[in-house]
Amino acid sequence: MNDYNDYYDFDNNNRFSRLPAPVRAALLVVFALLILNTITFITVGTGATISLPLIALVYLACGVLGAMFSVNTNDGQSPVISGALAGLILWFFSFLINILLTILLSAPSLGISIAIGIPYLCLCAPTELFIGAILGSFGGLLYGFFDDGHNDDLL
């Protein structure tokens, strides 16, 4: 008979733990980013005063998680680099989510979402890429400062 622990493999041999640390971090927080991007998109930017600081916190948390996963798996990356990579991967997921939202909402909005979405993707996406990488690396730096024994190899 299968035991609960046999069904759920808790010894880190599952597929999720085999992914690189930055990818795992981005996958854990991508749902929060999806919700915040949807709020910003549906409110046509008026919800940005609330969602943009929260998006920044999501990128920061992603950097902390990326650094934590990297340190725990001993993959040799510094926490700052792992945090920056996690922020970049999260940006890529955000970019894909914004493209999907633009396509899915184009019919109900009679094309208005494409008229708003394309300039957003062209103008704001590169800025979000840069800020996401910076905040991710800052999250990795924060994790490195608070993690015992890894303060000497932050960069």
Mind listing the pLDDT tens digit for each residue in 72-106? Answer: 887 778 899 999 999 999 999 988 877 887 777 77
Three-class SS of residue 146? Answer: helix
Q: What would the two tokens of residue 57 be?
A: 């916190």
Contact (Cβ atoms closer than 8 angstroms) between residue 57 and residue 94: no
Q: Return phi, psi of residue 9, to 5°.
A: -80, 100
Alpha helix locations (H) across the chain?
4-7, 15-18, 21-42, 48-73, 79-104, 112-146
> What whole-number percentage of the chain has pLDDT above 70?
82
pLDDT number for residue 149? 60
pTM for the full predicted model = 0.80
pLDDT of 66 above 90 = yes
Q: What would the two tokens of residue 144 be?
A: 């490195």
Mean pLDDT on 6-12: 50
4: left (phi over 0), alpha (psi -120 to 50) or beta: alpha
Q: What is the Rg, in whole angstroms, of the alpha carbon atoms belonging to the chain? A: 18
How far is 114 from 143, CA to CA, in rounded Å? 39
Mean pLDDT on 131-154: 82
Least Cα distance to 40 among 131, 127, 138, 117 occurs for 117
pLDDT of 46 above 70 = yes
Alpha-carbon dihedral angle through residues 25, 31, 34, 36, given to the nearest 10 degrees: -90
Mean per-residue pLDDT over the chain, rounded: 81
pLDDT number for residue 16? 73
pLDDT higher at 135 or 14:
135
pLDDT number for residue 102? 75
pLDDT of 131 above 70 = yes
How far is 105 from 89, CA to CA, in rounded Å? 24
